[in-house]
Structure 1
């Protein structure tokens, strides 16, 4: 059967056991009749695992997915079904989430500087939580949404973040004191504090410092004006690549420690004693890349190549550059050659043939999936779908398909010579890729193939054709879907998967796939928690 990614149906494939996305890609592209268009493998199992990991490692923090990170509808539907909240930055994002059947109280309008018409829209549809960081925004909210639950966004130390936001958003501590007073004078419902330590934050201590500052403002508002704030938003900055598990664990431990020190549960129960449940302390965060990054694996095709012969001077210069690079950093990313099963580093300068350099043109670029290179400061390097690399490597560059000279994906790396028509894969392509993609030059965007396995029976209702056919997750007050997820401890290999295509039946395809390692041990932790605790781990 010919693989065609231009059809209108959603390509969703169910497997008995988890599947390695790259092995699935190898199987797909081995078909001689496959279309060469770019496509994603979207691993729904990975998203489920991330969610269980979150509610296990950060049980007091309710995730509100940052919609701007990736607006894929299947991703949003799954997170809505699992009980996550949503961080929206515009009217359109709010409308997108509401159209999924999500209740307005599960949305925070987390843009400190909003268009007035967007505030009016939030008021009309019942989205009450919204952030601010300046006095003009307070007057705007007073005029257009006087009953809003406003959240003061404070500045953070984000110098160790990949994408810094403090130069644009966040009030310093002195300004925060004045804003609290003004909110009180305007009789606005100041319910809490938010911060964002920067996207791709590398320093866990940035979270604890901000949590400490938030507590100071909680105390100031209560002692000076009698304002009982009960809402803390820890923002984003959580890693989501497939190799970032240890870093996330370190951040989670730092957050839990700081919350216990500055926002202990017992203390806030006492402070708000005698007040109804509406004033129970609520802590949220705004993870985006954490959920999306590793779930999306992109496959592209080499549509053209250009070989350039080098003169003696160029050859000598390149040889010297390679020698210096190996000497100073023999595991530099440009020296890495990734295959499905290995990462090899060029260790011997003589392995590099400097007689020519090669430019490869692929059918996705910076106007589409690789816009993350500009907007998210990402670095993207390919995985080659072959283990036989040969003995000679060449200085190479990888370019997108458009007519723009800026469409450069990889400026310099060393690869074995590839041929037109070969495929290459890019991992961890879920964050700030699809959401910013445009079909510049009329070049079509990558399609998605969704895969599901052991959790399918639990999550399949998330993808019903209408909200009425699904569980009424808009009315959920607990994360029962998350609590029901179960992953096998021992996963077998060489399973025969069945292909499911929404709105179109198809025969099962024969394919053998080795199973990727999963985070099934987390389920035991979850099952050991009392039922009532699991029920409110995600308080919808």
Structure 2
């Protein structure tokens, strides 16, 4: 397993200052954030702290529970170069869903055979790029995609993308947009055969942050039925299963991996050499980053405390458009009370938190219980590594891409 000395020379991390963290606890992260603020007292912009040690620990966990499943990290989840460089150094492959994602990963020196292009609907120019640089594995779920691939990348290996069952409890389901239906499978396989394209397996995705592990069992059974259809009609050399993403770090991960391994052993008992890959994003990214946001404005009306902070729903906090429960904020009173920076014992008041833009909808939390804070204090949010910075729009000139990322490495991973 790669340790700090190995990461310091990895692509995307070279010449970067990696700060020391005593461990991966919230308290240790807060200490580092406090030191960064102390060194930059006039800074108003939000910033991230990325714990590289936490990423190393998560990769170790993946290999422990999923040692025969190769992860292809979903770049869209968090495309920060330091994050990608860490994943590359650890041995991950990469799930790139666009031309720019492919180019970003190749720029780190990653070989093209460590990249998959699992977007079922691709611009023709992007398919031509994949052919040019040697990205030779992609997905499809319609005959129209097959015609584009036949024209621009006929030597590419293909995975038939299935629509996963809808019972995954995913935070962001994907089945309404992607995936072939059972009745479409045989016509698609025959179309690929007639076009002399090589289908090597099946992929599915149960949705982002899935909570029902049993959905994987159903999806794997559906995938096996596709292998059986391919065997019946001939022309396909089926050897790969892509189980997609949806994984979350935590106690549920072990349960999920057990369900998946049992389902594969049951459904594919006749294929001991089956190659299994996955597209985890949130699993590796979510808990590895913490966001610090400065309080830039304040108002008090009839005992309602209102605060403006330096990030909002058009930036790193776009997640609250789907579910405000995704966001946890901790007050860091480094300006108004340096002796009690976490405000643990203070009286708390009903508070509203606004983002920095001129959009009235840029309201982050209402009814949040906070101690009284002052302009210059900060709010800290853990678990902000997945689909946060990457989804910012830059509205009103607040560019999420400009948000600094400080690198730390916690011991014990």
TM-score, normalised with respect to structure 2: 0.88
Q: Given that residues 121 and 140 in structure 2 are in contact (C-alpha distance below 8 angstroms), is that contact kept between their aligned partners in structure 1?
A: yes
What residue number does 1:468 align with?
none
User: How far off is 1:87 after superposition?
Assistant: 0.6
What residue number does 2:262 align with?
257
1:164 partnered with 2:173? yes
1:411 partnered with 2:358? no
What residue number does 2:403 align with?
446
Q: Can you give the 5+ residue segments of structure 2 that lack an aligned partner in the other structure?
A: 1-14, 333-340
User: How far off is 1:171 after superposition?
Assistant: 0.6
Given the alignment, which residue of 300, 303, 315 partners 2:296? 303
Distance 1:237 1:175, change over 3 A: same
Q: Which has the larger radius of gyration?
A: 1
Q: Deviations over 1:202-255 (max 9, x none)?
A: 100111110111111112211321523011100110114xxxx11111111111
Query: Which whole-Å CA distance do the structure 1 matches of 2:388 and 2:203 have between them?
Result: 26
1:225 partnered with 2:234? yes
User: How far off is 1:387 after superposition?
Assistant: 4.6
Q: Given that residues 236 and 285 in structure 1 are in contact (C-alpha distance below 8 angstroms), is that contact kept between their aligned partners in structure 2?
A: yes
Distance 1:47 1:113, change over 3 A: same
Q: Deviations over 1:96-141 (max 9, x none)?
A: 1111111111111110011111111111111110000011111111
Q: Deviations over 1:20-68 (max 9, x none)?
A: 2122223433568463431111000000011010011011211000000
Query: Which whole-Å CA distance do the structure 2 matches of 1:431 and 1:18 have between them?
Result: 17
Query: Which whole-Å CA distance do the structure 2 matches of 1:364 and 1:10 have between them?
Result: 25
1:216 partnered with 2:225? yes
Distance 1:387 1:448, change over 3 A: closer
Structure possessing the higher relative contact order (Cα contacts under 8 Å, 6 or more residues apart): 1
1:268 partnered with 2:265? no
Given the alignment, which residue of 387, 392, 406 partners 1:437? 392
What residue number does 2:4 align with?
none
What residue number does 1:61 align with?
69
Q: Given that residues 324 and 365 in structure 2 are in contact (C-alpha distance below 8 angstroms), is that contact kept between their aligned partners in structure 1?
A: no
Quote the RMSD (CA, aligned, Å). 2.0
Q: Secondary structure of 2:148's partner? A: helix
Taking the TM superposition and a 5 Å limit, the aligned residue runs for 1:178-189 are: 178-189=187-198
Given the alignment, which residue of 295, 305, 308 partners 1:358? 305
Q: Given that residues 161 and 202 in structure 2 are in contact (C-alpha distance below 8 angstroms), is that contact kept between their aligned partners in structure 1?
A: yes
Of residues 252-261 and 10-19 in structure 1, the stretch that sits farther from structure 2 once superposed is 10-19
Q: Given that residues 193 and 235 in structure 2 are in contact (C-alpha distance below 8 angstroms), is that contact kept between their aligned partners in structure 1?
A: no
Distance 1:11 1:300, change over 3 A: farther
User: How far off is 1:442 after superposition?
Assistant: 2.9
Query: Which whole-Å CA distance do the structure 2 matches of 1:51 and 1:392 have between them?
Result: 41
Query: Which whole-Å CA distance do the structure 2 matches of 1:53 and 1:76 have between them?
Result: 18
Q: Deviations over 1:464-509 (max 9, x none)?
A: xxxxxxxxxxxxxxxxxxxxxxx4xxxxxxxxxxxxxxxxxxxxxx
Distance 1:186 1:443, change over 3 A: closer
Query: Which whole-Å CA distance do the structure 1 matches of 2:378 and 2:73 have between them?
Result: 32
What residue number does 1:246 align with?
251
Q: Given that residues 10 and 449 in structure 1 are in contact (C-alpha distance below 8 angstroms), is that contact kept between their aligned partners in structure 2?
A: no
1:383 partnered with 2:330? yes
Given the alignment, which residue of 208, 217, 220 partners 1:199? 208
Q: Can you give the 5+ residue segments of structure 1 that lack an aligned partner in the other structure?
A: 1-8, 270-279, 310-355, 455-486, 488-519, 521-540
Q: Deviations over 1:340-365 (max 9, x none)?
A: xxxxxxxxxxxxxxxx2111100111
Q: Secondary structure of 2:366's partner? A: strand
Distance 1:174 1:359, change over 3 A: same
Query: Which whole-Å CA distance do the structure 2 matches of 1:424 and 1:15 have between them?
Result: 20
Query: Which whole-Å CA distance do the structure 1 matches of 2:300 and 2:171 have between them?
Result: 35
User: How far off is 1:78 after superposition?
Assistant: 0.8
1:12 partnered with 2:18? yes
